[in-house]
Amino acid sequence: MSDRDFEYKLVVVTRQDLKLSPGKMAVQVAHAAVSCALSAKRGEPEWFESWYGEGQKKVVVKTPVLQDLFALKQTAERAGLAVALIQDAGMTEIPAGTFTCLGIGPGPANIVDKVTGHLKLV
Amino acid sequence: MSDRDFEYKLVVVTRQDLKLSPGKMAVQVAHAAVSCALSAKRGEPEWFESWYGEGQKKVVVKTPVLQDLFALKQTAERAGLAVALIQDAGMTEIPAGTFTCLGIGPGPANIVDKVTGHLKLV
């Protein structure tokens, strides 16, 4: 399956500066993905069903700056995409309330790429 | 928030032997979490709502043996828990069709722990 077979995607933007352990990062990304998927299922059911039916493509990218999460959230919302800004419960590794990542989508790849296409893969 | 505040959890069992990159592992765990959450929303809506309302606790654990995923899947199903065995689309790092992880739950912590409580955290 090549990248071009996917017309829908969900992107999770993570904070490079937090240097989370792989397990901790996986949990944060999964929080964002579940929240976004449920939000899109309600708000954009056709996008959600297309994405899920294709195999729920997910991409994890990174940003060096916390403030980027807030700016990207606004841009994604204006594009009509579901968003989920995740704060950690703070039981391990980082203080409670730390913003860890931002989920965007699922939505059409060309719309999502306009928001996150410039960010590097984790 | 202490661990005891959570009465429901979703666990993802990952394969230690695959040595996936952190980004790749996060995507696989998120696939399992989304699939399990949607499955539980349909099949065990009270468990799903309780889990999501608590803050969707997730735990990532590891197993050294692929065959454990199949055995754990059977045990979890017998316990009435949602399960999602994830196969990778195989675009990077590992061959297409590789089993990467198993999602279990969400469900009551005491039921989930009977299935996965012996496994080590990632």
CATH of the domain at B67: 3.40.1490.10
List beta partners, residue A22: none
Confidence of residue B2 (pLDDT cuts 50, 70, 90): very low
Closest approach of chain B CAs to the CA of A102, in angstroms? 13
Encoded tokens for B56: 């969707």
Give the residue among B62, B47, B49, B55 at the shortest CA–CA distance from B12.
B62
Could you tell me if B104 lies within 8 Å of chain A, comparing CB atoms?
Answer: no
Within a domain: A64:
yes
Give the residue among A52, A14, A15 at the shortest CA–CA distance from A34.
A52
B26 to chain A: closest CA residue: A26
Within a domain: B70:
yes
List beta partners, residue B62: B14, B120
Checking ipTM against 0.90, whether it exceeds it is yes
pTM: 0.95
The count of structural domains within chain A is 1
Beta-carbon separation of B30 and A90 below 8 A = no
Within a domain: B43:
yes
CA B26 to chain centre: 12
Q: Which whole-number Å values give the CA distances from A49 to A79, A83, B19, in the listed order?
A: 19, 17, 31
- CB atoms < 10 A from the CB of A105, how many? 33
Interface contacts (A, B; CB < 8 Å):
87
pLDDT tens, residue by residue, A1-59: 445 578 999 999 999 999 999 999 999 999 999 999 999 999 999 999 999 999 999 99
Could you tell me if B2 lies within 8 Å of chain A, comparing CB atoms?
Answer: yes
Within a domain: A122:
no
Beta-carbon separation of A96 and B122 below 8 A = no
Print the domain residue range for B67: 3-117
Within a domain: A54:
yes
